[in-house]
Amino acid sequence: MRSTMQNLPLLISRVLEYGSTVHGTTKVTTFFEGDTQETTFAAIGARAAALAHALHDDLGITGDQRVATLMFNCAEHLEAMFAITSMGAVFNPLNKQLMNDQIRHIINHAEDEVIIADPSLAEQLGRVLQECPSVRAVVFIGTEDFRAFAEHLPEHISVHSYEALLDGRSTHYEWPVIEESSPAAICYSTGTTGAPKGVVYSHRSIYLQSMSLRSNDSLAVTHGESFLCCVPIYHVLSWGVPFAAFMAGSPLVFPGTNTSPPALANLIAIAHPRVAHGVPTVWTQLMVHYLHNPPERMSLTEIFVGGSPAPPTLIRLWEERYGVDVIHVWGMTETSTVGTVSRPPTGVSGEDRWAYRVSQGRFPVSVEYRVVSDGQVLARTDRNQGEIQVRGNWVTDAYYHSPTENEEGSAHLFRGREVDTAETQFTADGWLRTGDVGSVTSDGFLTVQDRARDVIRSGGEWIYSVMLENLIMDAPQVVECAVIGYPDEKWGERPLAVAVLYDTVEPSGETAELLRNKLRSELPSWMLPEYWSFVDHIDKTSVDKFDKKDLRKHLAAGELEIIKLKGPGEG
């Protein structure tokens, strides 16, 4: 017996065709240098077809060759993403926040052949491309003539205008029917612990995850509900939201080059988005702006945050002041970002609801999970803590061109040979080791306590830095706080709280004692930090997480002014 169901491949071109016809009048709004630029899904589809013709006919892109972008969130970036993937090539959005050496590594590792770029990033790109032999052409969005830029590039690289390439092209393209397992996009991890590593998404994985984002248990991307995309496309395809929006007919709002709090406040006041996503830092800074400049009305109803947990105070502020639900999303490049969403179960209210809100959320049916400690799989209870491991339909099982790929060059790391799994992010039985330490309840809700590398090991016990950070940032004196380990002769490590205070607060030992005393009702005494440092700002990584690697360097170089309070056993 066999199924009688048809087997159409799950391709991104189907998403593009559907969105640009069925939802053709749905708007895409980009804010650029104070101006509002509007287009429609139908126009995005037409221009994506024209771009595909230009990439194929003029620039020679065929098969699964890689085309990169170095751009902000804007309509042209959306056109490029759909054109490149739908024509069967591989889309590689470059993270402009990375160091030039890292961007160069990514271009060379992916063997990008064409780069589509924003002209404001031309100088940065020029420095990067001096040692990128695979790149044949650079295309700048806009109508200006950028041929003068070619003087600073190797002779084999040609420079083109995006609009000139599209001018006069057919707005219809016969999108190829390819295997749904074919590569569609490649995104790179941020490289905080080494060189950036490539994760290749298939048409199938993107299609399935985009469908899941429409679920009411997930981001609930819905027809007519406009979505403000503060997560850059170079961060795992803006979490896949643009694809889900084309499926649903959800208007998209892009902030362009300016995501400062005043710019976002102005954008929200003009465009009236209902839903938004971004890292907690964006919404913390916007809330501070609103405290001094209250909005006349608030269109937002939900904000999805990921990258790091949102402090409980921030969640309460948005809910109590503006009726906005701040909802955690947990994931990583390796999981296509969205792995869990913290929507409480139906019927839960009061403090029980709050417990779900501050968790990282529930796993969907397509992502399996387990908690592992000392090589043993633990029962699913909130008391059992260990490393979170996952597998699923949009979870990677390899890194692109990983040195640990098997001899046949398969995309699967552990088939056909033994490997030392202690040195890899993948287990021998096919699970992704996330590096997050946490627990999962019996009803599938994840709580992440810390990154494994950030756990502070003090006297044989574990202290979770994220837990301390959230509690400290609950204090009204504190803007931001990052906690790292401080070498201690007696305990091995003790927590060091590095905090940014509001301007009206004195950075002193008395303030450190005040902040520590606020923790006493929440934590046992041995967890309380006795080391404190007050700084003007805390550097962030390219994905707006606290750069703890950088903080550790400053600490090792003696560049942090340390305030020492009494520690455990010191009276």
Name the residue with higher pLDDT: 80 or 309: 80
Name the residue with higher pLDDT: 407 or 9: 9
pLDDT at 144: 72
Residues 87-135 have pLDDT tens digits of 999 999 999 988 888 899 999 999 999 999 999 899 899 989 989 999 9
DSSP assignment of 41-59 equals: HHHHHHHHHHHHHHHHHTT
β-sheet bridge partners, residue 137: 114, 158
pLDDT above 50 for 405: no
pLDDT above 80 for 323: yes
pLDDT above 80 for 417: no
Residue 425's pLDDT band (boundaries 50, 70, 90)? confident
Strand bridging mode 158-161 / 183-188? unpaired
Task: Kindly state the percentage of the chain with pLDDT values over 90.
Answer: 71
Strand bridging mode 302-305 / 275-278? parallel
pLDDT at 460: 61
User: Quick one: 296 exposed, middle or buried, by C-beta within 10 A (0-12, 13-18, 19+)?
Assistant: exposed
**Cβ count within 10 A of residue 262:** 11
Residues 279-314 have pLDDT tens digits of 888 998 999 999 999 999 999 999 999 987 888 889
Name the residue with higher pLDDT: 337 or 203: 203
Residue type, 246: F
CB-based contacts of 223, cutoff 8 Å, min separation 6: 23, 248, 249, 250
pLDDT above 70 for 571: no
Residue 148 per-residue DSSP state: G
Residues 365-398 have pLDDT tens digits of 999 999 998 889 998 877 788 999 999 999 999 9
pLDDT at 385: 86
What is the phi/psi pair of residue 86, to 5°? -70, -30
Name the residue with higher pLDDT: 455 or 27: 27
In this structure, are residues 103 and 128 in contact, taking their beta carbons and an 8 Å threshold? Answer: yes
pLDDT averaged over every residue in the chain: 90
How many Å apart are CA 569 and CA 571, to the nearest integer? 6
pLDDT above 60 for 406: no
pLDDT above 80 for 152: no
**Cβ count within 10 A of residue 231:** 27
How many Å apart are CA 494 and CA 569, to the nearest integer? 13
Mean pLDDT on 530-536:
96
Coil, strand, or helix at residue 192? coil
Mean pLDDT on 53-61:
98
CB-based contacts of 120, cutoff 8 Å, min separation 6: 257
pLDDT above 80 for 555: yes
CB-based contacts of 251, cutoff 8 Å, min separation 6: 26, 27, 28, 29, 224, 225, 226, 227, 245
Where do the DSSP E strands lie in 464-552?
A: 478-488, 492-501, 531-534
pLDDT above 50 for 408: no
Domains in the chain, CATH or no CATH each: 369-451 (2.30.38.10), 455-564 (3.30.300.30)
pLDDT at 384: 85
How many Å apart are CA 476 and CA 499, to the nearest integer? 12
pLDDT at 542: 66
Most confident of 64-68, 330-334, 422-426, 446-450: 64-68
Name the residue with higher pLDDT: 13 or 540: 13
How many Å apart are CA 36 and CA 405, to the nearest integer? 47
How many Å apart are CA 275 and CA 72, to the nearest integer? 20
**Among the listed residues 323, 327, 320, the one whose alpha carbon sits nearest the alpha carbon of residue 357:** 327
Name the residue with higher pLDDT: 311 or 431: 431
Mean pLDDT on 515-530:
89
How many Å apart are CA 397 and CA 381, to the nearest integer? 26
**Cβ count within 10 A of residue 283:** 26
